[in-house]
Amino acid sequence: MVTPGLRLADVGCDHGFLSIALVGRGIAPCAIAMDLREGPLSHAKENIAREGLSEVIETRLSDGLTKLEPGEAETIVIAGMGGRLLMHILEEGRQVAMAAKELILQPQSEIPLVRHYLVEQGYRLLAEEMLQEDGKYYMMMKVSYEANGVGEVLAEEEADFLFGKQLLATGHPVLRDYILWEIGLKESIRAKLDATDATHSDRYREVMEALEQLQDALHQIDTRGK
């Protein structure tokens, strides 16, 4: 999802593999690999040196975006962390995030909450993608602050916040698999609640509401596919 030719910053870089891959393949001309912890950052520096990329990939100890200047990176990647932490990083580094040409975000949890935050803060959607690996599903989005004059409204309907506007619109096959998987989980929970005569509980109502949302999204995807 990273636009070729843009300067990169990887927030929470861990061992630096993302920066190494993007710069090593010529997608990003240079990168700043940042992490809050000295241990992973030290490993990142070693890995970068091993690949002969120390001249074009800088490592930087940073709590989120605090050690990055506005405009210093054109692409900012924040991936592999919980939704609330991701929102905290964007909020604390508001000026830096808004100055970037694009943000590639991949929250691991509370994705609808992240989408609501982005809409409220004026970010617009450039692209969405989804993949499945080793039994886990990953949603990611490319966004830009509205002052950059690009992108579309990130989400409008509740289904957009839950499942992703472009993923739904294109009938993304991985999203369809994910919805079917979620339906299976919810059906299993409903069966257990039925067996314990808990059909009037708040939990039962939550499960039934989630099932309805999932079924509606599945119908939308299947309708577009015909």
How does DSSP assign 115-171, residue by residue?
HHHHHHHTEEEEEEEEEEETTEEEEEEEEEEGGG---EES--SHHHHHH-HHHHHTT
Confidence of residue 226 (pLDDT cuts 50, 70, 90): low
Number of H helices and number of E strands within the chain?
9, 8
pLDDT score at 64: 96
Cα 140 versus chain centre, distance: 4
pLDDT score at 117: 98
151-169 mean pLDDT: 95
State yes or no: pLDDT of 15 exceeds 90. Answer: yes
State yes or no: pLDDT of 186 exceeds 60. Answer: yes
Predicted confidence (pLDDT) per residue in 104-154, tens digit:
999 999 999 999 999 999 999 999 999 999 999 999 999 999 877 789 999
pLDDT score at 184: 96
For the chain, what percent of residues have pLDDT higher than 70?
Answer: 99
pLDDT score at 146: 87
The closest of 77, 196, 181 to 132, measured between CA atoms, is 181
pLDDT score at 67: 96
pLDDT score at 50: 97
pLDDT score at 223: 85
pLDDT score at 156: 94
pLDDT score at 83: 97
Q: And the tokens for 190?
A: 């409903």
